Structure formats: C-alpha cells, structure tokens
Amino acid sequence: MSRPVITAFRASPDRGRGLARDMRVRWAFEEVGQPYDVRLLSFEAMKQPSHLARHPFGQIPTYEAGGVALFESGAIVLHIAEQHPGLLPEDPAARARAVTWLFAALTTVEPPIVERSMASILERDRPWYAQRLPMLDENVRTRLRQLSAHLAGADWLDGAFSAGDLMMVTVLRRLDGSGLLEEWPDLAAYIARAEARPAYQRAFADQLAVFQAASAG
Ligand code: GTB
C-alpha cells in the first residue's frame, strides 16, 4: 500500500517549534511506526481550489491514504490510532476513555489555550489587552488545575500512554513561553515525559528540518 500523505506548512510561523497541528499527526505516525510523506504548502497554496477540495477551510493538516481523505487533526490522529496498534487500548472501555481524553484535549482544554495565544499575538498592542489577559490566564489555569488533579502523580491520563495523551501534550505545548505551565511542575513533567518519547523526537526533528530548509532557501 502507498504511504499516507499529509500536508504541512512550507514555512511554519512557529519557526520549527512543533506547534502547528501537523506535529500531532507526525507524532501519531511515528508512535505506530507508519512511514508517511508530507506535501508542503505555502499560505497561498492552502487557499487554492486544489487544496480546498481536501480541506474546506484551507488549512493544514490533511491526510490521504488508501482512498480515505481527511482533514481536522483530531480526526486524523483518531483514524491513525484506529488503523494501527499502539495508540488505543484493546479493552473497549479503556479505548473509549482514551478517545474521551482526545476529545477533552481538543474541545475542553485547547480552546482557552488558543484564545490566550491568539490574544497575545493579535491584541498585544490593543488598549484592552492588559485588562483582558488576567481573565484569559485564569481560564487556562482552571483547566491546568483540573488536569493536574486528575493526573494525581500518574505518568499518563488513563493507564498507558494513548492518543489522548498525545493530543493533550500537543495542546499544552502551546503554552510554552506563557509562564503558566511552570505553576504546575507535575504538568511540566508530564509534557517532558511525552517529549522524551523517541517517536516524539523523530516527529519534532522532521518538522524542524522543514523549517530549517525553508529558512536556508
Ligand atoms: N481544527 C483544525 C485542526 O485541528 O486540524 C485547525 C487547523 C488549523 O488551525 N490549522 C492552521 C492553519 O492551517 C495551522 S495549525 N492555519 C492557516 C490558515 O488558517 O490560513 C495552527 C497554528 C499555527 C501557527 C502556530 N504557531 O505559529 O505557533 C501554532 C498553531
């Protein structure tokens, strides 16, 4: 069977920090040992009809393999996890809980983190930013506090490392540089534990190499 193809930024605005959402898909492929190819896109190419046919919102990442074409990083990671052993437990109840954590990362934890991140980029010079930031920080802190209470010293969210942890860690990494993660050393250790996984390291190096090539060219 031919290798799956995903799309990613040709020149990621995160400057190779692995914060764009192709990183979670790359990491999932590496965890399950599935080689893949990457089609790199400029911002302009992402808005062309050929890409809009794959992604109605003109974004990355997308996924194509064996007649299946997907967009949305959560759907792609879940699909990879369902196609290969390694990211979801065999036991049906544990599997359902791992999928629950994947959704929790995307729909409960990611929104306040993205809201804070976007405000810090787009509103930093606005007169209301200084007043708004404490509320944005507090919304993030609420989730971090709750996550920390759930982890309660465990290595992973629910037993063995799963697609739920993979997604949660990619979501939390977007707080890098905010100073908020440092308030929960257990969460910082949770992220570091995930980042130490060889699959993560390979995925990170691959996306960094793309940025370095774009910068050199
Ligand atoms: N819900 C979708 C998913 O999960 O796949 C969201 C996809 C998405 O937001 N894609 C972004 C994109 O294509 C790239 S990842 N943006 C271009 C556009 O909308 O025109 C988001 C992202 C971008 C940059 C950073 N960064 O620089 O730190 C972090 C995250």
Grade residue 143 by pLDDT with cuts at 50, 70 and 90.
very high
Asked if residue 181 and residue 100 are part of one domain, the reply reads yes
pLDDT of residue 9: 97
> Residue type for 143, please?
R
* CATH at residue 135: 1.20.1050.10
Q: Does 124 have pLDDT greater than 70?
A: yes
**Protein residue with least CA distance to atom 12, ligand 1:** 59
Domain that holds residue 116: 92-197
- How many Cβ atoms from other residues are within 10 Å of residue 208's Cβ? 15
Instruction: Give the pLDDT confidence score for residue 153 in this predicted structure.
Output: 95
CATH classification of the domain holding 208: 3.40.30.10
Q: How far is the CA of 92 from the centre of ligand 1 (A)?
A: 32
Based on the domain organization, do 116 and 154 belong to the same domain? yes
Q: Give the contacts of 62 (CB within 8 A, at least 6 positions apart).
A: 6, 7, 51, 54, 55, 69, 70, 71, 76
85 lines ligand 1 (CB under 6 A): no
The tokens describing 197, both together, are: 């996984």
Residue-wise pLDDT for 6-52, tens only, equals 999 999 999 999 999 999 999 999 999 999 999 999 999 999 999 99
Label residue 121 by pLDDT band (50, 70, 90). Answer: very high
Together in a domain, 186 and 204: no
Domains held by the chain: number = 2
Same domain, 82 and 101: no
Nearby residues of 99 by Cβ (< 8 Å), 6 or more positions away: 78, 88, 163, 164
Q: What is the position in ligand 1's atom list of the atom closest to the CA of 61?
A: 5
For residues 64 and 98, state if they share a domain: no
Give me the pLDDT at residue 2, please: 87
98 in the same domain as 67: no
Q: Do residues 101 and 164 touch, judged by C-beta distance below 8 A?
A: yes
Would the CB of 21 count as within 6 Å of ligand 1? yes
DSSP string, the chain: -PPPEEEEESS-TTTTSS-STHHHHHHHHHHHT---EEEEE-HHHHTSHHHHTT-TT--S-EEEETTEEEESHHHHHHHHHHHSTTSS-SSHHHHHHHHHHHHHIIIIIHHHHHHHHHHHHHSTTSTTHHHHHHHHHHHHHHHHHHHHHHHTT-SSSSSS--HHHHHHHHHHGGGTTSSSGGG-HHHHHHHHHHHTSHHHHHHHHHHHHHHHHHHH-
Residue 217 has pLDDT above 80, yes or no: no
Report yes or no: 26 and 206 within 8 Å, Cβ to Cβ.
yes
CA of 21 from ligand 1 middle (Å) equals: 6
Q: Are residues 181 and 104 in the same domain?
A: yes
pLDDT tens track for 167-197:
999 999 999 999 999 999 999 999 999 999 9
Q: Are 96 and 132 members of one domain?
A: yes
Measuring CA to CA, which residue among 178, 177, 185 is closest to residue 134?
Answer: 178
In this predicted structure, the answer to whether residue 1 has a pLDDT above a threshold of 80 is no
